[in-house]
Amino acid sequence: MEKKIILGMSGGVDSSVAALLLKKAGWSVTGLMLLLQPPSPAREAAMTDARAAADRVGIPLFFDDRHEQFQKLVIQNFIDEYKNGCTPNPCVRCNPFVKFASLLAFAEKHGCTAVATGHYVKTDKTPMGHTRLLRHPSAKDQSYFLSYLTQEQADSAVFPLAAYTKDQVRAIAAESGLPCAAKKDSQEVCFIPGKDYASFLIHAGGLRAEPGYFLNTSGEKIGMHRGILHYTLGQRRGLEIAMGERMYVQSLDPKNNTVTLCREDERYITSLTVENPHWINGKPPEKPFSAQVKIRSTARPISAEITPLSETNWQITLSQKQTFAAPGQTAAFYDGDVLLGGARILCV
């Protein structure tokens, strides 16, 4: 029986090599590029790259315009979080609510048994046959960004890059003549080219960069800032204030339009609060419980004790001090290498 699979493609090297590996593994592969932005030269260029990769591998490619859904579920949430002085992670939200939801809908419509992406993540099966998501052994591990997937989405997912490093993927692309072999990885939020968050929030979100006061941790005014939307927790560069020592953004107060700065020795935490945790298998662990926690995508997992405070809020007590966890970001929970789920960081 033919194994039919839908692969999310972007025109980048990861999804292109994923297509090649799936085809070699005997899958009947159909590429699907989700168009998350309105028509533009940049969108057309990405579509051209994806077509070239699909043609080289020898698979059909379809396009699905989801930019209105993306605007509603991801971009608007991003803007709203910044209005409240928070720092969202749009990829964590996009994966379950837009990407995997769209891939599964397309797969069902076209009689496919699975969906695939170019994420660097591993999987295994439980005795009941459900898929568990595991951290990838390389530095490229992207499991954190999948912490809000549902069990249905995980069960349907195939990750062809599970056994490969980024260098190996690039080598496969070059050996196979894929046109994207030397294409650089994007280090940006996909809808904010150049990382100019402030301009995006002003022009697309209607936010205003009103000057206000910098405060120290004693609440004293120590200078003027350019507008809260220019800052995020833990930021050191670009503060444009001379204090004779390194200063870091400790907190943002949109209501009073203030930015509190702290010294190096004041920027560490040993606990934080999260809200509305999501568990991939739909079942919260026994309360309280121990786990490893990543409080940002680039952090390493830290052992922690997780205790419920209410029906919605949980406290995470870390075994080691960490630098600030930004409200709006995701705390991802692990049992060893197994991704359990995630929760929105509420406060520190």
Question: Quick one: DSSP state of residue 106?
Answer: H
Q: How many helices (H) and strands (E) does the chain have?
A: 9, 17
33-62 residues labelled b (16+ CB within 10 A) or e (exposed): bbebbeeeeebeebbebbbbbbebbebebe
Q: Concatenated DSSP letters for 122-178? A: EEEE-TTS-EEEE--SSTT--GGGGTT--HHHHHHEE-TTTT--HHHHHHHHHHTT-
Q: Concatenated DSSP letters for 259-282? A: EEEEEGGGSEEEEEEEEEEEETTS
| Helix, strand, coil percentages, rounded to 5, for the chain | 30, 30, 40
Residues catalogued as catalytic: 94, 190
Q: Which of 329, 102, 101 lies closest to 233 in space, CA to CA?
A: 329
